[in-house]
Amino acid sequence: MDLSEIYETVLDGRTKGLPGTAAPFALKHIAAQGWNVLREDMPLPLMVLKRAALDHNARVFGDYLSAHGLSLAPHGKTTMAPQLFAEQLRYSWAITAANVAQVQVMHRYGVDRVVLGNQLLGRAALASVAQMMAEREAFEFYVFVDSPAQLDNMARHLSGLGLPRPLHLLLEVGVAGGRTGLRTEEEAADLAEAMLAADPALFRFAGVASFEGVVPGLAEGPEPVRGYARQVVEIARALPPALYEGAEEFILTGGGSGHFDLMAEAFGELELPVPVRILLRSGCYVTTDNGGYKAMQEAGRADPHRSWKSELHPALEAWAYVQSMPEPGLAFLTMGKRDVPYDAGLPVPLKLYRPGKGFLPVGEAEVTAVNDQHAYVRLGNGAEWQVGDMVASGISHPCTAFDKWRFLPVVSDSYDVVDGVMTFF
């Protein structure tokens, strides 16, 4: 990947998270600014990435993949940060995207293999994909397909564009009451027939795709995921061998960031005349969180029947000031919906730092609501907060944390700013 354009990006006081006193500088020089979050060199609110946690998670997840013979195409929508894509590609087979706009960012910065984990439709989107493939011979593109109607739409818009090589098709299997993806073996057979009849200059079958994160009943336990994974394998096994005759491999892909081990275990039961590549698409592992994903990871480790026994470290922290304490037991932080995720749980206060004093106990503190720029915090025993204190909160759902920040500083364990990451949402 070529990240030079990103590191030449000029930042100044107009950039959220940077001090207004900062003279313009290129991102590559950010460490030379000598900033430290605890020294109040940077304005709050501020979302930071912890370098040590990023490195730990990469090492732990990479070891898991190697130990179980798995491949990874991490979902890039989580961060939309090419700098992090480059780190992930050291141990990943591809990067996953959710829409063509994200694919364009990945292509621009040199990702050579992209999985579009979604349906592809429409003239402009297909023209963009065709152009990206024509611009770089090394670029490989995989896409989910769940109906003959979608296949017809794609073929119609690709016709006449002079596609330099075929798109790789992944037949998507869904679940009743879930999201996209066909539901039955009969529907899979119909789509397989349409794929066999399609123009080989435009399309090439590559495998079967799935996503377990929207399986009904997921909150009650892992059995719905196991049942869905078995269904995916059964549908893949029932596909006509002519569909993958002569192929180098058959891709079987699934696995979000909560139950990837269950999907991989079931996928390992598929035996075909060609090698099967089990491809996970976990994205949130890169930073994990202090909310929903943390809970799912803990549940996996506690289950003796599951293979995931490692621990990921939260790499995102949202720092804010205590700005007001207008009533006993009530405090307000200088962060809100514009700064932190709130769709899958509210931030959790983790650390309290008092400038001139150092770290102090947080005490009992719960964020109960957020407005655009305010967080309501209910204080209990041991919460001796003061106006001007700095509070670090853990977040729930990394995908909706990154998209609120064009720039995130990367910090050391002592909160020195050692690097910066740019996002492209």
d(C-alpha 27, C-alpha 6), whole Å: 7
The DSSP result for 183-229, as a single string, is -SHHHHHHHHHHHHHS-TTTEEEEEEE---TT-TTGGG-SHHHHHHH
DSSP 309: -
Residue 414's pLDDT band (cuts 50, 70, 90): very high
Contact 108, 293 (CB under 8 A): no
Residue 130's pLDDT band (cuts 50, 70, 90): very high
Which residues are paired to 379 by β-bridges? 365
C-alpha to C-alpha distances, 230 to 209, 269, 270, nearest whole angstrom: 13, 9, 10
pLDDT number for residue 24: 97
d(C-alpha 414, C-alpha 355), whole Å: 14
- Residues near 189 by Cβ (< 8 Å), separated by ≥ 6? 238, 239, 240
The per-residue pLDDT for range 48-81, each reduced to its tens digit, is 999 999 999 999 999 999 999 999 999 999 999 9
Q: Which of 87, 96, 82 is nearest to 211 (CA)?
A: 96
Q: Which of 121, 82, 122 is nearest to 102 (CA)?
A: 82
Contact 281, 255 (CB under 8 A): yes
Average pLDDT over residues 149-177: 97
Predicted TM-score (pTM) of the model is: 0.96
Amino acid at residue number 119: Q
The per-residue pLDDT for range 231-280, each reduced to its tens digit, is 999 999 999 999 999 999 999 999 888 999 999 999 999 999 999 999 99
Residue 216's pLDDT band (cuts 50, 70, 90): very high
C-alpha to C-alpha distances, 27 to 172, 185, 280, nearest whole angstrom: 40, 52, 32
Structure token digits, residue 174:
């869904």
Cβ count near 380 (within 10 Å): 10
Contact 188, 235 (CB under 8 A): yes
C-alpha to C-alpha distances, 42 to 320, 321, 382, 416, nearest whole angstrom: 11, 12, 28, 11
Contact 406, 297 (CB under 8 A): no
DSSP-H helix ranges across 79-120 = 82-88, 100-108
pLDDT at position 193 over 90 = yes
Phi then psi dihedrals of residue 168, to 5 deg = -90, 125
The per-residue pLDDT for range 385-410, each reduced to its tens digit, is 999 999 999 999 999 999 999 999 99
- Residues near 203 by Cβ (< 8 Å), separated by ≥ 6? 151, 154, 155, 166, 167, 169, 195
The DSSP result for 384-401, as a single string, is ---TT-EEEEE-S-THHH
- Tell me what percent of the residues of the chain surpass a pLDDT of 90: 98
pLDDT number for residue 398: 96
CA distance from start to end of the chain: 19
pLDDT number for residue 219: 85
Strands of the 140-145 sheet, one edge to the other:
71-72, 276-280, 250-254, 203-209, 167-172, 140-145, 113-119, 95-97
Structure token digits, residue 104:
């364009």
Arithmetic mean of pLDDT over the chain: 97
Strands 316-327 and 390-394: antiparallel
The per-residue pLDDT for range 132-148, each reduced to its tens digit, is 999 999 999 999 999 99
Domains of the chain and any CATH numbers: 3-49+315-422 (2.40.37.20), 69-283 (3.20.20.10)
